Copies of this chain bind each other. A is one copy, B any other.
Amino acid sequence: MTAKPVTPLVEMDRAEVIAGNGFAGQDILSVSQFNRENLAYIFDKAQAMRALVETDGMSDLLRGNVLTCLFYEPSTRTSASFIAAMERLGGSVIPITQGVQFSSVSKGETLADTVRTLEQYSDAIVLRHPEIGAAKIAADYAEVPVINAGDGAGEHPTQALLDLFTIQQELGRIDGLKIAMVGDLRYGRTVHSLTKLLTQYDVTLRFVSPEILRLPLVVMNEVIDAGIPVRETHDVADVIENADVLYVTRVQKERFVDMAQYEAVKDQHEITIELMAHAKERMVVMHPLPRVGEIHYAVDHDPRAAYFRQVRNGMFIRMALLAAVLGEK
């Protein structure tokens, strides 16, 4: 599955921090490519996309462009989001989204060859792959822009962007906010990426998790090095009163050996209407979805429950990114 590069890979050559709005032709591989300046640019563009969808449903901005959605593992939500984004910009999609048997792959083709083949038909490639680093390899070989839609335990930058965009849209700002992350902070890829982006802002962070699922040392050190005020706790009750954002993630039962410990954790992390009674009047509850009980269904009726609006923001962010990398050709 991994390429056999002929020349040594130059680390992050094409994926360096992009200054200003110079996204045209660029890969989107990592949140580390984004600074406050180009985040503001993308968020502005995403807001314009919302207006466009709400008035006309679509535009012809990317007419004549074809996007390949190459998903080596299925992700209904993410592939549907990119497909809708491309179609609402007047472009077309080659959907390879079942993640099951790729004929060429089963014949032993490398990722590099698959990508170089598919780029012959298309103007950009969105890649989902179970292996960390796959998006980087694809980008090194492809001449068209590659957008990382998740590479295993690696990154999922468009998710982090939509999360941050949602905070900005819901609360009107990012600086000055108290943000609490809840749940599986150890394996939760979205938590790590969002946290990295937040270190560029003047925020306060709270991390709520069971002991065995605490934030990895390397991410925590980035937070500390950035001078962000931070605290960890085991109980969401400790943070509910002051949080402007409650970013909740799924805790997987399989992570626990001791089921009694799992049950205790569940009680300390579940977001209920009783818990929400202690929260600020103006705050938001977010979740990358799918959820399996971390947020009680009764909370859905609370106007502070932002997770479905968050999903919709994903489409606007992806429209903005597609327009940015493809639009100025």
Contact surface of A with B, Cβ cutoff 8 Å: 3-6, 56-58, 63-66, 68, 73-77, 80-81, 83-84, 87-88, 92, 94-96, 98-105, 107-109, 112-114, 116-118, 120-123, 250, 289-292, 297-298, 300-301, 308-309, 311-312, 314-315
Least Cβ–Cβ distance between A323 and chain B, in angstroms: 15
Contact of B120 with A103 in the complex, beta carbons under 8 Å = no
Contact of A113 with B312 in the complex, beta carbons under 8 Å = no
Contact of A113 with B73 in the complex, beta carbons under 8 Å = no
Q: Which residues of B contact A95 (CB under 8 A)?
A: 95
Q: How far is the CA of A94 from the CA of B315 in the complex (A)?
A: 13
Contact of A66 with B94 in the complex, beta carbons under 8 Å = no
Contact of A80 with B118 in the complex, beta carbons under 8 Å = yes
Q: Which residues of B contact A122 (CB under 8 A)?
A: 84
Contact of B6 with A113 in the complex, beta carbons under 8 Å = no
Least Cβ–Cβ distance between A326 and chain B, in angstroms: 10
Contact of A104 with B88 in the complex, beta carbons under 8 Å = no
Q: How far is the CA of A217 from the CA of B256 in the complex (A)?
A: 53
Q: How far is the CA of A307 from the CA of B239 in the complex (A)?
A: 59
Q: How far is the CA of A81 from the CA of B123 in the complex (A)?
A: 13
Q: What is the copy number of this chain in the assembly? A: 3
Contact of A56 with B64 in the complex, beta carbons under 8 Å = yes
Closest Cβ neighbor of A289 among chain B residues: B117
Closest Cβ neighbor of A75 among chain B residues: B103
Our pick among B68, B74, B116, B121 for the contact of A315 (Cβ within 8 Å) is: B121
Which 6 residue pairs across A and B have the least CB separation, nearest first? A57-B64, A109-B290, A87-B92, A120-B312, A84-B121, A108-B292
Q: How far is the CA of A83 from the CA of B97 in the complex (A)?
A: 14
Q: How far is the CA of A96 from the CA of B107 in the complex (A)?
A: 21
Our pick among B65, B75, B88, B250 for the contact of A66 (Cβ within 8 Å) is: B88
Least Cβ–Cβ distance between A188 and chain B, in angstroms: 13
Q: How far is the CA of A123 from the CA of B73 in the complex (A)?
A: 26
Contact of B80 with A121 in the complex, beta carbons under 8 Å = yes
Q: How far is the CA of A323 from the CA of B95 in the complex (A)?
A: 22
Contact of A64 with B58 in the complex, beta carbons under 8 Å = yes
Our pick among B57, B76, B311, B314 for the contact of A103 (Cβ within 8 Å) is: B76
- A65, A83, A300, A315 interface centre (most CB from chain B within 10 Å): A83
Our pick among B66, B100, B102, B103 for the contact of A73 (Cβ within 8 Å) is: B103
18 example contacts (A-B, Cβ-Cβ < 8 A) are as follows A3-B297, A6-B301, A58-B64, A75-B103, A76-B114, A76-B118, A77-B117, A98-B98, A98-B100, A99-B103, A104-B290, A107-B250, A113-B289, A113-B290, A117-B289, A117-B311, A120-B311, A120-B315
Q: Which residues of B contact A80 (CB under 8 A)?
A: 68, 94, 96, 118, 121
New contact pairs (8) apart from A6-B298, A6-B300, A75-B103, CB-CB < 8 Å? A5-B297, A57-B66, A58-B64, A68-B80, A76-B114, A80-B94, A80-B118, A99-B103
- A81, A96, A103, A121 interface centre (most CB from chain B within 10 Å): A121
Contact of B68 with A57 in the complex, beta carbons under 8 Å = no
Q: How far is the CA of A113 from the CA of B290 in the complex (A)?
A: 8
